[in-house]
């Protein structure tokens, strides 16, 4: 599929430790490991111009639906940002994106 395949861990901020695992079959799983673990999963598609779309079909707090986002990858570093609500607007750029590192 692309270089997005693999496990990516957020490096900073309130959600530090949040991780996404993008699989070759177009599915993903994410987890925020806290006292009360939050998980999400679904499917994703990406485009060569840095757009990502997810169909989140499972979420601990029932935040399901279509989320549009943007991403960029350089080596083992990914910038990733999704719109705040399902069906809402895609972010215009990556200026507020989180920095994720590929877990090896």
What does the pLDDT profile of the chain (104 residues) look like in tens digits?
A: 489 999 999 999 999 999 999 999 999 999 999 888 999 999 999 998 999 999 999 999 999 999 999 999 999 999 999 999 999 999 999 999 999 999 98
DSSP letters of 47-85?
A: -TTSEEEEEEEEETT---EEEEEEEEEETTEEEEEE-SS
Asked if residue 22 lies in contact with residue 9, where contact means CB atoms within 8 angstroms, the answer is: no
Domain count of the fold of the chain: 1
CATH number at residue 26: 2.40.128
pTM of the model: 0.93
For residue 97, give the DSSP letter.
P
Report the C-alpha gap between 42 and 13 in whole angstroms.
Answer: 24
The parent domain of residue 96 ranges over 6-102
Is residue 1, in this structure, part of any structural domain at all? no
């Amino acid at each position: 599929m692309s270089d997005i395949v693999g496990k990516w861990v957020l490096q900073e901020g309130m959600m530090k430790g949040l991780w996404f695992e993008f699989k070759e079959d177009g599915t993903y799983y994410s987890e925020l490991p806290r006292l009360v673990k939050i998980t999400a999963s679904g499917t994703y598609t990406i485009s060569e111009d840095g757009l990502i779309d997810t169909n989140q079909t499972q979420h601990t707090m029932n935040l399901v639906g279509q989320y549009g986002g943007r991403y960029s990858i350089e080596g083992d570093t990914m910038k990733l940002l999704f719109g705040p609500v399902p069906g809402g607007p895609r972010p215009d750029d990556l200026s507020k994106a989180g920095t994720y590192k590929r877990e090896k």
